[in-house]
Chain A
Amino acid sequence: MNIPVSLTVNGKRVQADVDPRTLLVQFIRDELRLTGTHVGCDTAQCGACTVHMNGRAVKSCSMLVVQAQGAEVTTIEGLAKNGELHPMQAAFRECHGLQCGFCTPGMVMSAVQILKDKPNACEQEIREGLEGNICRCTGYHNIVKSVQLCQSGKVSTTV
């Protein structure tokens, strides 16, 4: 028996009847076709599925979409505004904080949360903050640099 859900994703109200076992990430990817949010593991370890729900970074693979009933969800597709990259996106580009791009959306969403929680996070705190996101390409070096550049406010966001 399907269950109706209603939530706001990237500022747009969406409604659907879903199989109760539908994960939030499955709803985002399969129902809404927002494929920027990725699935990299099945144990809530890799963080590729990270989105923001009601202003907090969450792993969308480890919650049901019905738990997001009425919530405001932002995915990577909703981070850039009016054709302008979010400073974190721009910083990742400037610092070469991504290679294959697969972990990137989740990494960016987590990084935004880190600076929201700790605007003056030091390198060690940034590294600890990224602990829930696995990247296999960059060795994290340039991801840390990206977060630090964003933190400095010296990043150009024009596309």
Chain B
Amino acid sequence: MTDMSQPPISPIGQSVQRREDYRFLTGAGQYTDDVVLPGQTFGVFLRSPYAHARIKSIDTIQALKAPGVVQIFTGADLAEAKVGGLPCGWLIHSKDGSPMKEPAHPVLAQGKVRYVGDQVALVVAETQWQAKDAAELIDVVYEELPPVIDIRTAGTATSSVHDDVPGNVCYDWGHGNKDAVDAAFAKAHKVSKLEFTNNRLIPNAMEPRAANAQYTRHDESYTLYVANQNPHVERLLMSAFVLGLPESKVRVIAPDVGGGFGSKIFLYAEETALVWASKRVGRPIKWTAERSESFLTDAHGRDHATTAELATDDKGNFLALRVKTIANMGAYLSTFASSVPTILYATLLAGQYKTPAIYAEVKAVFTNTAPVDAYRGAGRPEATYVVERLVETAARDMKMDPAAIRRQNFITEFPYTTPVGLTYDTGNYAAHLDKALELADVAGFPARRAASVAKGKLRGLGYSCYIEACGLAPSNIAGALGARAGLFEAGEVRVHPTGTVTIFTGSHSHGQGHETTFAQVVAAKLGIPIESVEIVHGDTGRVPFGMGTYGSRSLAVGGTAIVKAVDKIIAKGKKIAAHLLEAADTDIVFENGVFKVAGTDKKVPFGSVALTAYVPHNFPLDKLEPGLNENAFYDPTNFTYPAGSYVCELEVDPETGRVRVEQFTAVDDFGNLVNPMIVSGQVHGGIAQGLGQAMMECCQYDPASGQLLTGSYMDYCMPRADDLPSFTLDHTVTPCTHNPLGVKGCGEAGAIGSPAAYINALTDALGIRDIAMPATVERVWRAANR
């Protein structure tokens, strides 16, 4: 039992080394593809080679005769078994009040294929090779149809992605006060306008998606191993909405997951087909995506075409913002697709500013491309890009200092309700801007620019002051906005008789380090060593419930659920201690792992109380149940609002178009930090993804054929170590006011704030108004030599 004589130092706020690292560093991690089940078979999906085609016939006769083939399934089998389509979790209504169009999203194609990679058949064989070989023997006759690719013309295309959605518009949504915005624009001193594309990205978690599904006859249950960020949501959607199975018969395990970035939130067709087929086959079926399948079929991100205008008065005060966006949904509505360019986008258009009037229109369209859904930041990077590019442009139009125009328009009093419906609880925007200016040595920039010019280079400086709404989400607010799910989190604290503790959390870690951070929180609360706390996540068979990890919510929502459960443990512990110490419940205090009678030296350590709870010989059994095990659900009362100021400084070689990021400074306000090392790691990774979007990443479909042109790492440019600088990071702190840890979330900030900072710096260096993302070497060279 723990020595309680010395009060332990709270691990909250300490950069504790990660407990998960040993297994990852020694090859002992266990990812989905590492799992081999007895009697294992392998699944391969035959996919559409066309962006848009009618399936005339599917002939599997030769394929079925191929060596090792166990069974082959097509859409007809699923239709016969009345397997439903994949659901969308968020209902958006158009301006005219009509609900969004929700065309069927079949698990295997029914009559038509709608993007290159759309799954047509599932081949199950003894080995992966045999399944692949057999898939090539399936004879599908297609009748090609004209594809819809360009989002700007999708709404007027003669071809329809879905026969039941002529015109290809999923919804035409409006948000904010249009009349107020029009009135403000009418009296504006200056209107700054930009038209741009927020480039389409492919998430590229390094672990490709994978699933392994097993049916067990003895209890008629299914077990699914899957690379997923939210196993309970996966189970709920799959069992209740698609396969019609009781949730109690489906266990979803998301073991070690090699990165998600949003792309592993969703319920995909592949794992659904595997679960369904596993009963027919009577053996477990494993499918692991090849990277080219990931490129083709992981839900992509961003892909907006936007026109945005900011109205200012003669002193540079922002009067109104007007935004018009066309957003790509791809061929089918992925799980949360509809919410991303609406609820997670337009509500963030106030940024850090007191712009009094804002109006946004978003038209979502279907195209013959892979589904588009949440990718790190999800809507908020797009909103930040709109706001921060416009603000920088307005500063230039007004000939004002870009930091000064921001500062002048900052929201300074909290709580603050924006004209787009959010209430920011707290923040201090000038504090992180000041710190960023200092760290980036903005004062010294003119001299550095002169030095660059002297050697024939161009140098630029750009800002981005982002805000995000994280800690998703208050369920009642989300519900009113169209969410079809609750967005709380669940946690269980199981104290063992020896005083060690197992925490079961609905949050999932796929790189974020929950096994360390959550243990820090619990160890601090209970005053026990971090080694005494075990974190369990990612298994619906062990964790009571959960909504999973996305929207930078794990610590703010999942962590709070755990804190609430720990509070219940302490409350019960006090009653047990009161009995042991022969005192009143109300006289017991709990400090540093010891229950004490206030104002006396009578005390009993946590470990003894735990033991008493399970060996209740001297226990108030008339008033209290034995055992020490508590559950809690936490539904937040507001979003959290992480915010920060980023400064990018770069140098352009006009001869080659090459850009070097000389310094990237990020000062974030995430509220309190539990593990600063992990927080910094999250910011580094986010910035790399944001700079990737700004500098080099772009998903491209051939506009005529709909073929994916960027379908491998040879074609899709991923940021490598030598593309990026080391980053300069710091923090300011205004604790979140509505969760007990005072935390806001840090997972997405880097990806949200950095693209605008980079493009602002680049346009500053080049002396141009705009440059398209990704600002490739070619685009930069052309701009420098225009």
- Which residue of the partner chain, among A33, A99, A145, contacts B259 with CB atoms under 8 Å? A99
Contact status B31-A38, CB under 8 Å: yes
The 0/1 profile, CB within 8 Å of A marked 1, for residues 270-295 of chain B is 00000000000000000010111000
Within 8 A of B (CB), among A13-43: 19, 21, 29, 33-43
Within 8 A of A (CB), among B720-769: 720-722, 724, 726-727, 750
Please judge, given known A-B contacts A96-B681, A136-B205, A136-B689, whether A46 and B291 are in contact too, CB under 8 Å: yes
User: Which residues of chain B are near A48, meaning CB under 8 Å?
Assistant: 206
Contact status B722-A100, CB under 8 Å: no
- Which residue of the partner chain, among A38, A104, A139, contacts B727 with CB atoms under 8 Å? A139
User: Which residues of chain A are near B18, meaning CB under 8 Å?
Assistant: 93, 96
A50 at the binding interface (Cβ < 8 Å): no
Contact status B684-A134, CB under 8 Å: no
User: Which residues of chain B are near A45, meaning CB under 8 Å?
Assistant: 712-714
Of A52-60, A62-70, A120-128, the stretch lying at the interface with chain B is A120-128
Contact status A89-B25, CB under 8 Å: yes
A137 to B680, CA, bound (A): 12
The 0/1 profile, CB within 8 Å of A marked 1, for residues 188-210 of chain B is 00000000000000001111100
Of B173-181, B379-387, B509-517, B531-539, the stretch lying at the interface with chain A is B509-517
A94 at the binding interface (Cβ < 8 Å): yes
B30 at the binding interface (Cβ < 8 Å): yes
Within 8 A of A (CB), among B1-31: 17-18, 20-31
Contact status B22-A159, CB under 8 Å: yes
A89 to B290, CA, bound (A): 28
User: Which residues of chain B are near A134, meaning CB under 8 Å?
Assistant: 206, 713, 718, 720
Task: Report the contact-size class of chain B (Cβ under 8 Å from the partner).
Answer: 35 or more
A130 at the binding interface (Cβ < 8 Å): yes
Contact status A85-B25, CB under 8 Å: yes
- Which applies to chain A's interface (DSSP): helix, strand, loop or mixed? loop
User: Which residues of chain A are near B361, meaning CB under 8 Å?
Assistant: none
A151 at the binding interface (Cβ < 8 Å): no
User: Which residues of chain B are near A144, meaning CB under 8 Å?
Assistant: 721, 726
Contact status A98-B24, CB under 8 Å: yes
The 0/1 profile, CB within 8 Å of A marked 1, for residues 40-82 of chain B is 0000000000000000000000000000000000000000000
- Which residue of the partner chain, among B30, B259, B712, contacts A100 with CB atoms under 8 Å? B259
Please judge, given known A-B contacts A46-B291, A96-B677, whether A137 and B685 are in contact too, CB under 8 Å: yes
Contact status A101-B720, CB under 8 Å: no
B766 CB to closest chain A CB (Å) equals 25
Q: 16 pairs across A/B with beta carbons < 8 Å? A: A40-B207, A42-B290, A46-B291, A85-B22, A93-B18, A100-B206, A100-B511, A101-B20, A101-B258, A102-B258, A102-B259, A127-B722, A136-B718, A137-B681, A140-B684, A141-B688
Query: Which A residues have a C-beta under 8 Å from some C-beta of B?
Result: 19, 21, 29, 33-43, 45-46, 48, 75-77, 79-80, 85, 89, 92-94, 96, 98-105, 108, 123-124, 126-131, 133-145, 159
Q: Known pairs A45-B712, A46-B713, A102-B207. 4 more at Cβ < 8 A?
A: A45-B714, A133-B721, A135-B721, A142-B681
Query: Which B residues have a C-beta under 8 Å from some C-beta of A?
Result: 17-18, 20-31, 33-34, 36, 129, 204-208, 256-259, 261, 288, 290-292, 510-513, 677-678, 680-681, 684-689, 712-714, 718-722, 724, 726-727, 750
